[in-house]
């Protein structure tokens, strides 16, 4: 199903309207507009919070961007946990390792057990899911700076299984991931990224009602 929006709707802050995007003649113009949208409304807003101690809000914004990117990378209609975790492991070394000590956790329904064995799954369950569905970080998660890592289980050897996310380092990692994604979309010399561009165009059309398939060769 393709959504239809008001063609005069702003696509980014002080940016193009959807009607203007429909008139673009080059794929990179669409990618640049998409990049401006995400930077204006998410990444720049998170960066403006860096000096205010709003670590939880920064993590929330990063979760939104990372989730959105995973949907574009795999052409998903909605968020999917397996693809989100695969996306994190593919795009960031910080999320690739296993936890020093795994966590067995019961979800908020009080009966569903979850075995959390790696950082990607810990972030998906403890941060992204808990924030979106419950408005908080799960009990085994903490938002705190000063660990020197994007995500860590720093005191596992002492029996403390908490997984800690550094909001400033997570923002930096999210900006890097986003930058790499945009670069790959625009790098026509990299034929391995053709499926990435195809998925982007399909997801874009489904979300905004604008077909950009004709621009893939531009």
Q: What is the pLDDT of residue 149?
A: 96
Instruction: Kindly report, residue by residue over 77-134, the tens digit of the pLDDT.
Output: 999 999 999 999 999 999 999 999 999 988 777 788 889 999 999 999 999 999 998 8
Instruction: Give the CA-trace dihedral at 188, 22, 69, 128, to 10 degrees.
Output: 170
Beta-carbon contacts of residue 175 (< 8 Å; ≥ 6 apart)? 43
Can you spell out the DSSP letters for 92-117? -GGGSSEEEEEEEEE-TTSS-EEEEE
Q: What is the pLDDT of residue 51?
A: 61
Number of neighbouring beta carbons within 10 Å of residue 24: 18
CA distance 92 to 169: 12
Q: What is the pLDDT of residue 20?
A: 93
Taking 80 as the threshold, does the pLDDT of residue 50 lie above it? Answer: no
Dig out the tokens for 64 from the structure.
Answer: 């939104």
Q: What is the pLDDT of residue 90?
A: 96
CA distance 119 to 20: 41
Ranges of each domain in the chain = 18-215
| 22: helix, strand or coil | helix
**Residue 209: Cβ-neighbour burial (10 angstroms; 0-12, 13-18, 19+):** middle
DSSP H helical ranges for 75-193? 81-91, 119-123, 130-134, 167-186
Instruction: Give the CA-trace dihedral at 37, 151, 163, 64, to 10 degrees.
Output: 10
């Amino acid at each position: 199903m393709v959504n239809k929006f008001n063609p005069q709707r702003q696509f980014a802050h002080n940016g193009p309207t959807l009607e203007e995007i429909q008139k673009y003649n080059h794929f990179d113009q669409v990618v640049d507009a998409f990049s401006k949208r995400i930077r204006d409304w998410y990444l720049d807003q998170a960066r403006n919070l860096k000096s205010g101690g709003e670590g939880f809000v920064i993590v929330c914004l990063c979760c939104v961007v990372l989730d959105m990117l995973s949907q574009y990378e795999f052409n998903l209609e909605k968020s999917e946990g397996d693809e989100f975790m695969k996306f994190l492991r593919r795009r960031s070394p910080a999320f690739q390792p296993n936890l020093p000590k795994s966590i067995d956790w019961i979800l908020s329904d009080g009966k569903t057990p979850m075995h959390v064995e790696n950082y990607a799954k810990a972030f998906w369950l403890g941060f992204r899911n808990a924030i979106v569905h419950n408005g908080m970080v799960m009990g085994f998660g903490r938002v705190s700076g000063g660990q020197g890592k994007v995500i860590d289980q720093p005191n596992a050897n002492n029996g403390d299984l908490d997984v800690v996310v550094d909001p400033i380092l997570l923002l930096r990692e999210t900006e890097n991931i986003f930058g790499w994604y945009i670069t790959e979309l625009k790098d026509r010399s990299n034929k391995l990224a053709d499926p990435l561009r195809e998925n982007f165009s399909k997801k874009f059309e489904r979300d905004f009602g604008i077909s950009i398939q004709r621009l893939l060769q531009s």
